[in-house]
Amino acid sequence: MSNKEGSILLAELVAIVMVLEFCILERLHNTITTLKIFSDSQSAVGLLTLNWAPKSYIDVIRDIKEHIEDLRTKGMEICILWTPGHANIQGNDEADLLAKQAAEEATQLLPKNNIITLQDVKQGAHKSVMQKWQRRWELSDTGRDLFDITPNVKNIPIFDFPSKEIFSILIQLRTGYTTLNYYKQRTGQDTTDLGQKKK
């Protein structure tokens, strides 16, 4: 495996680690039962689903498998699937474009800021993602009710919800997307008297 191929594989594996860690951190198993992760790296998919013997990045692969098992024990099924690259598949093409943009940004970094270790890769990628997410959150035309409550994407509180039902209700209240008459009036829907019993 060449250095370039190795770095591409590592990038794919780190991306998968970050997705799984985000799911664990945000406790998405409370609302999502199945997560499908698509990768155009046959090596990454083979190492994680076909039990290919890894020759490198053993620690990263072990972390991924441990995260998958952790989420599965909490009720979230994880599917890692292969998707062909450069085949005009919208989601994959968008991911490739973002990867190229990140690579171009990396070439502008000073040598002392070059990423070397796996932890540096994860921290650098996480910081970049959070900055872009924050920027998009500030400029977005949607979700302004939630923005008034939570203007900073990094300060979203995490709670230990007793049930998926309560979790869902709280999310609806925070985002403003509810079945309450207030929301229905704002969106031009028919309203009903929620306090009146059905006959």
What CATH number is associated with residue 89? 3.30.420.10
Examine the domain organization and report whether 95 and 177 are in the same domain.
no
Percent share of the chain, pLDDT over 70: 65
User: Containing domain of residue 182, as a range?
Assistant: 159-186
Residues 166 and 89 both lie in one domain: no
Residue 168 lies in a domain: yes
Residue 83 falls inside a structural domain: yes
Is 191 a domain residue? no
| pLDDT, average across residues 129-143 | 83
User: Distance between CA atoms of 92 and 12, rounded to whole angstroms?
Assistant: 12
Q: Which long-range contacts (CB under 8 A, 24 or more apart) does 83-92 make?
A: 83/38, 83/39, 83/40, 84/40, 85/40, 91/38, 92/38, 92/40
pTM summary value: 0.51
Question: Of residues 28 and 125, which shows the higher confidence score?
Answer: 28
137 belongs to a structural domain: no
Q: Is residue 198 part of a domain?
A: no
Instruction: Please check whether residues 96 and 9 belong to one and the same domain.
Output: yes
Structure-block tokens of residue 166? 């309560």
Torsional class of 114: left (φ above 0), alpha (ψ -120 to 50), beta (otherwise): beta
Q: Which of 108, 125, 141 is a domain's end point?
A: 108
What's the gap between Cα 109 and its chain centre?
25
**Both structure tokens of 100:** 């190229």
State how many domains the chain has: 2
Per-residue confidence at 199, pLDDT binned at 50, 70, 90? very low
Q: Which residues pair with 38 in a beta bridge?
A: 81
pLDDT tens digits, one per residue of 79-101: 999 988 666 666 666 766 766 66
Confidence of residue 152 (pLDDT cuts 50, 70, 90): confident
Q: Do 11 and 103 reside in the same domain of the chain?
A: yes
Query: What mean pLDDT is predicted for residues 127-148?
Result: 82
Within a domain: 39: yes
In a shared domain, residues 94 and 179: no
Q: Assign residue 160 a region (left: φ > 0; alpha: ψ between -120 and 50; beta: otherwise).
A: beta
Q: Does 70 reside within a domain? A: yes
User: Is residue 70 domain-shared with residue 166, that is, in the same domain?
Assistant: no
Specify whether 104 is located in the same domain as 176.
no
> Which of 66, 86, 108 finishes a domain?
108
Do 98 and 32 have their domain in common?
yes
Question: How far, rounded to the nearest angstrom, does the alpha carbon of residue 25 sit from its chain's CA centroid?
Answer: 10
Which of the listed residues 108, 127, 146 is the one where a domain comes to its end?
A: 108
Q: Which of 104, 98, 29 is nearest to 70 (CA)?
A: 29
